[in-house]
Amino acid sequence: MASKALEFLGFFESLPLTNFASMGFAQPLLRALAEEGYETPTPIQTKAIPVLMEGHDLLGIAQTGTGKTAAFSLPILHALLQDKTRPQPGTARALILAPTRELAAQIGENVSNYARHTRMTSAVIFGGVGYGPQMKALRGGLDVLVATPGRLIDHLERGTVKLDKTTFVVLDEADHMLDLGFVVPIRKILARLPKQRQSMFFSATMPKEIGGLANEMLTNPRQVAVAPVATTAERVDQKVYLVDGAAKRGLLVELLANPAFERTIVFTRTKRGADRVSQTLDEAGISSAAIHGNKSQNQRQRALDDFKAGKTRVLVATDIAARGIDIDSVTHVINFELPEVPEQYVHRIGRTARAGASGAAIAFCDASERGLLRDIERVTRQQIPSVDKRGQKGAEVASATDLRAAGRNRSEGAQPHHRARRDAAQPRREGERHHPNRNDARKEPAERRPQQGERRFEPAQGERRFDAPRGEQRAPRADGQRPEGQRPFRKRQRPRFNAKSGA
């Protein structure tokens, strides 16, 4: 009889916990979750939360969009709340490392939302913005610090933060960290953490090097995995247009003139390509913003915010926005150029069809990209339906005037380019330059062009800009040496800091 009863209880224990309250979270967190509208845990949450609540290390195979931010941050916040100690000045009790500024900001936003009914503090630090506000936040001590690796290393070297009291650490999007060359900085950061800690490691894929890093970081981890990105991609209606390279711009304008393309991300391979496409769209009267590594953090954030708010219909992006960024209701993804790395295609098209919605992805493929298309089809184990548009002039146009005409004439109800009206709605800020042909330039002070002899390139760590005029570069150390990995950086005019603290 007793054994029957135990069997019965065992049966219940093996059932997944299907609501947050039964997972044992503290009331202030449950309240915030209810306000967020989270009713049922997602699969990664169902699998990871119980393991983390028991204090185990975790190796999670999951990508952004699965709900993994809550999966790791809720157990951390719960444990910090139970512990009741306050963070010491210049320390952080929990550290979350993210590869890009955008993802770090997004995680920081989630954490401060979940902690809104507690007194816990959190801050986000990343490169490309001033140090002052970050130093101030660190000085006070933090419960949760969300950081990109490069800027965190800078703070560690300046002595503005110590990690010897950090007993929770999360490495998010580890495979993306590898792509961006962050593995060495991550090892340096991990070396500063105490051995007694709970560690969480998330990655969408598990290449060999990433497996090695996980082994170093985790102790006796439990492994959980949720459906790979390819499953999401199945809901995306995919097409490839076989086109002549020169016809791509015209075809893009023609497509975007259709109002059904309500919220579209256009992916290009290069930063310059993104600017060119954005300019083409501007000239055709289609509102767009470009987001890539050469844009300042302010410009990137504003481009994202405007796109999220529906102020711009089209976001033109390099792969910096292909992963991690969670934007609702993206109706279309257009691969203006195919990515060099086939997996990137899956990440790109995963920007649409999120949260159960459907979406469409169109890829432009010219003769030089046929090999890339084959690689994508091999990796995704599918043949993407193709439409042959080779030899068609379509809206292929050479001049701005033609593009404008293409943008207007082919649209039924598409937004015309009423600059005067838009100017009235969005007056220029003081000191902003009027730039008749560029939306971006109208919204931001014009970027300074690098002068002869100055370098300008995308930093490998995706964080700093090196195009500073000499006088603005960081002063050398007294011994004339630069710390390893440290390069001159540009003082931003308008620092932006994403510090958020719980109420």
Our CB check for ligand AMP shows the closer of 124 and 406 to be: 124
Output the smallest distance, CB 462 to ligand AMP, in A.
19
Q: Which is closer to ligand AMP, CB of 64 or CB of 298?
A: 64
**C-alpha count within 13 angstroms, C-beta hemisphere, residue 461:** 25
Closest distance to ligand AMP from the beta carbon of 110 (Å): 6
Instruction: With CA atoms as reference, report the closest residue to 180 among 391, 423, 431, 458.
Output: 458
CB 142 within 8 A of CB 123: yes
Give the angle 228-234-237 at the CA atoms, nearest 5°: 145
Cβ at position 309, least distance to ligand AMP in Å: 16
Selection from 120, 179, 111, 180 nearest residue 146 by Cα: 111
Q: What phi and psi, each to the nearest 5 degrees, are found at residue 360? A: -125, 145
- The residues near 438 (Cβ < 8 Å, ≥ 6 apart) are 278, 279, 282
Query: Quick one: 326 or 458, whose CB is closer to ligand AMP?
Result: 326
For residue 100 the two structure tokens come to 């890009």
Nearest distance from residue 22's CB to ligand AMP, in Å? Answer: 14
Which is nearer to ligand AMP, 103 or 286 (by Cβ)? 103
The least distance separating ligand AMP from the CB of residue 229, rounded to whole angstroms, comes to: 11
Q: Which is nearer to ligand AMP, 116 or 271 (CB)?
A: 116
Residue keyed to tokens 């391979």: 269
> Minimum CB separation from ligand AMP for residue 5, in Å?
33
Amino acid (one-letter) located at 478:
A
What contacts 175, CB < 8 A, 6 or more positions away?
A: 203, 204, 205, 206, 207, 210
**DSSP string covering 394-438:** TT--SSHHHHHHHHHHT-SSPPP--HHHHHHHSPPPTTPPP-TT-
Query: How do strand 121-125 and strand 500-501 relate by DSSP bridges?
Result: antiparallel
Task: Name the minimum Å distance from CB 41 to ligand AMP.
Answer: 5
| Least distance between ligand AMP and beta carbon 40 (Å) | 6
**CB 324, min distance to ligand AMP, A:** 7
Give dist(CA 111, CA 71) in Å, integer.
11
* Residue among 24 and 245 whose Cβ is closer to ligand AMP: 24
Q: Which residues bind ligand AMP (CB under 6 A)?
A: 38, 40-42, 45, 64-70, 326
- For residues 44 and 224, the answer to whether their CB atoms sit within 8 Å is yes
Q: Which is nearer to ligand AMP, 33 or 218 (CB)?
A: 33
Q: Considering beta carbons, is residue 41 or 127 the nearer one to ligand AMP?
A: 41
Taking the least distance from each CB to ligand AMP, the nearer of 3 and 40 is: 40
The secondary structure of 214-250, three-state, reads HHHHCCCCEEEECCCHHHHHCCEEEEEEECCHHHHHH
Gap between the Cα atoms of 219 and 214, Å rounded: 9
Quote the least distance from Cβ 24 to ligand AMP, whole Å: 16
CB of 70 to ligand AMP, least distance (A): 4
Locus of tokens 């089809």: 377
Q: Which is nearer to ligand AMP, 65 or 273 (CB)?
A: 65
Query: Which secondary structure element, helix H or strand E, spans residue 279, and what is its range?
Result: helix 271-283
Collect contacts of 231-234 with beta carbons under 8 A, ≥24 apart. Answer: 232/65, 232/350, 232/353, 232/354, 233/346, 233/349, 233/350, 233/353, 233/380
Which one, 94 or 251, has the nearer CB to ligand AMP? 94
154/158 Cα distance (integer angstroms): 6
Residue closer to ligand AMP, measured from CB, 62 or 286 = 62
Q: How much is the CA Rg of the chain, to the nearest whole Å?
A: 24
Q: How far is the CB of 237 from ligand AMP (least distance, A)?
A: 22
Q: Which is nearer to ligand AMP, 48 or 255 (CB)?
A: 48
State the nearest-atom distance from the C-beta of 356 to ligand AMP, in Å: 10
Question: Which residue matches tokens 């800690």?
Answer: 197
- The order of strands in the sheet holding 500-501 is 222-225, 58-61, 198-203, 168-171, 92-97, 142-147, 121-125, 500-501
